[in-house]
């Protein structure tokens, strides 16, 4: 559900006042061995999610709470951060 509406949701949030540099993350298949996460600024999230080829189910989290993740520091030093579960990496 979050993934299918992201392309229209992100621009609407920014149009209505949410800063483009708001932290955001997309979590694909959360809590499973196949979990993948994409951290990005709100303005870049749609493109980064497309680039990572995330599929449903994907949870979208937008807001300051994302910056509490230890991975946010890494992503803020780069344009975006894509993280795969160690289980998914080992399966390849």
pLDDT of residue 77: 55
Q: Regarding predicted confidence, which is higher, 40 or 79? A: 40
CA angle 73, 76, 70 (to 5 degrees): 20
Q: Regarding predicted confidence, which is higher, 53 or 70? A: 53
Q: Regarding predicted confidence, which is higher, 76 or 9? A: 9
pLDDT of residue 92: 42
Tens digit of each residue's pLDDT (9 = 90 or more) over 36-69 = 999 999 999 999 999 999 999 999 999 999 999 8
The percent of residues in the chain predicted with pLDDT above 90, rounded, is 71
Residue 81 has pLDDT above 70, yes or no: no
Q: Among 90, 91, 92, 88, which residue's Cα sits nearest to residue 30?
A: 88
pLDDT of residue 43: 96
Every domain of the chain and the residues it spans: 2-91
CATH number of 2-91: 3.30.950.10
């Amino acid at each position: 559900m979050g993934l299918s509406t992201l392309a229209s949701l992100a621009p609407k949030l920014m149009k209505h006042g949410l800063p483009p540099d708001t932290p955001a993350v997309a979590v694909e298949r959360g809590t499973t061995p196949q979990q993948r996460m994409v951290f990005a600024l709100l303005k870049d999230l749609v493109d980064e999610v497309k680039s990572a080829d995330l599929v449903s189910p994907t949870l979208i989290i937008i807001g300051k709470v994302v910056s509490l993740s230890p991975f946010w520091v890494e992503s803020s030093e780069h344009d975006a951060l894509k993280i795969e579960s160690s289980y998914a990496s080992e399966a390849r």
